[in-house]
Amino acid sequence: MSIETLVANLIRPEIRALQAYPVGKAEGMVKLDAMENPFRWPQEMVSEWQSLLADCALNRYPNPVAPEVVAGLREVMEVPEQYEVLLGNGSDEIIQLLAMALAKPGACVLAPEPGFVMYKMIATFVGVDYCGVPLKEDFSLDRDAMLAAIADKKPALVFLAQPNNPTGNLWAEDDLVAIIEACNAPDHQGLVVLDEAYLPFSSRNHLNWLDRFENVVVMRTLSKVGLAGLRLGMLFGRKEWLSELDKIRMPYNINVLTQASAAFALKHYVVLMQQCEILKAERTSMQQKLTQLGFSVFESEANFVLVGAPESATAREIFDALKQENILIKCTDGAHPLLANTLRFTVGAPEENSALFAALSRILNAD
């Protein structure tokens, strides 16, 4: 029997049909494709952090509950004591824990689309059905379609990202409330996850909704504030939910270096927030300049801007031309019908954004 036949016989067909999550090569490029914070820490912070890491006991397992990290998160994010904090190796692990815990036979995961691709991928990983409900053309929630899908599919798990990736917008709160209430009705109960990955750039947060709704948890991450390399996500919610999820969390999932680094960074959180304020100002400038260049610019409350390509060039042509200029962005064209001929620009440091605008001017004004 060939290895190909052996693999085909043993691996689940839905896994074989997947493509691995794509991560493009970015060495030597201006990297504006992955919603990262472009700023490094001040040198005095780096020196203090490096000294701290030198004392980490790499020969010992980490503290399984990372108490210093949890305490720091509670302080900077103002998490009430009555709610629990669960840490994950990035938000991806938390999404996987949620899907695994609710993966009863016939269970369904539901989310608006276009949205974060890992909702669908992880549902497939754990063997549950996935239902994607298209947004309206202006990327607002299609409330009627969402409620109809909930009534039909009766999802065990619903993801609502605020702001949404890749569209960058917030949805009407009354639409969110209608969905949450539909998932806690006499004929159907489901858990709703409010994904606030881009909270530092948003005008709204929903942590207090934990008081309003028993079937809501709030997910966040430190990746967008400058700690993407640490891979640290977090879930806030009632003890009844998080104690069940903690049973399937891998022991020691947050390593020693991540715990030490995150605890240190949270003590200097004001520095990270100052960087986010710079990026918010740069976002406004980026939206204005992209509009001047002929792009159709969508409103954003995240650290990226989604645009429709101008009449003079397609999204694919602009993406390829920028790569030739050593600038990497995200071509969202083809990812979903609503994203046809679109591009997503991560907001970079001022000098990175200047390089982007100069390159775009050359590309779009070329004879």
pLDDT in tens, the chain (367 residues): 788 887 888 888 888 887 777 776 777 789 999 999 999 999 999 999 999 999 999 999 999 999 999 999 999 999 999 999 999 999 999 999 999 999 999 999 999 999 999 999 999 999 999 999 999 999 999 999 999 999 999 999 999 999 999 999 999 999 999 999 999 999 999 999 999 999 999 999 999 999 999 999 999 999 999 999 999 999 999 999 999 999 999 999 999 999 999 999 999 999 999 999 999 999 999 999 999 999 999 999 999 999 999 998 999 999 999 999 999 999 999 999 999 999 999 999 999 999 999 999 999 986 4
Domain boundary among 250, 267, 284: 267
Q: How many CB atoms lie within 10 A of CB 232?
A: 26
CA distance 83 to 162: 20
Same domain, 274 and 253: no
Q: Is residue 51 in a domain?
A: no
Domain boundary among 267, 282, 299: 267
Burial class (CB in 10 A: 0-12, 13-18, 19+), 164: buried
Three-state SS for 28?
coil
* pLDDT tens figures, 93-109: 999 999 999 999 999 99
Beta bridge partners of 85: 236
Same domain, 83 and 231: yes
Q: Is residue 12 in a domain?
A: no
Same domain, 71 and 183: yes
Radius of gyration of the chain (CA): 21
Three-state SS for 171?
coil
Count how many domains the chain has: 2
Same domain, 254 and 307: no
In this prediction the pTM is 0.94
Q: Is residue 7 in a domain?
A: no
Same domain, 237 and 275: no
Pairing verdict, β 304-308 and 327-328: unpaired
Same domain, 279 and 259: no
- Under DSSP, the state recorded for 41 is P
Predicted confidence at residue 260, as pLDDT, reads 97
Q: Is residue 9 in a domain?
A: no
CA distance 185 to 12: 35
- CATH number assigned to the domain comprising residue 124: 3.40.640.10
Task: Please list the alpha-helical segments (H only) found in 194-346.
Answer: 209-212, 239-246, 256-267, 269-292, 315-324
Q: Is residue 5 in a domain?
A: no
CA distance 69 to 57: 17
Same domain, 164 and 113: yes
Contact 41, 49 (CB under 8 A): yes
- CATH number assigned to the domain comprising residue 294: 3.90.1150.10
Same domain, 283 and 338: yes
Q: Is residue 63 in a domain?
A: yes
Same domain, 31 and 169: no
Same domain, 242 and 254: yes
Same domain, 244 and 172: yes
Residue range(s) defining the domain that contains residue 76:
56-267
CA 184 to chain CA mean position, Å:
25
Q: Is residue 50 in a domain?
A: no
* pLDDT tens figures, 139-193: 999 999 999 999 999 999 999 999 999 999 999 999 999 999 999 999 999 999 9
Same domain, 129 and 257: yes
Domain boundary among 241, 267, 293: 267
Q: Is residue 1 in a domain?
A: no
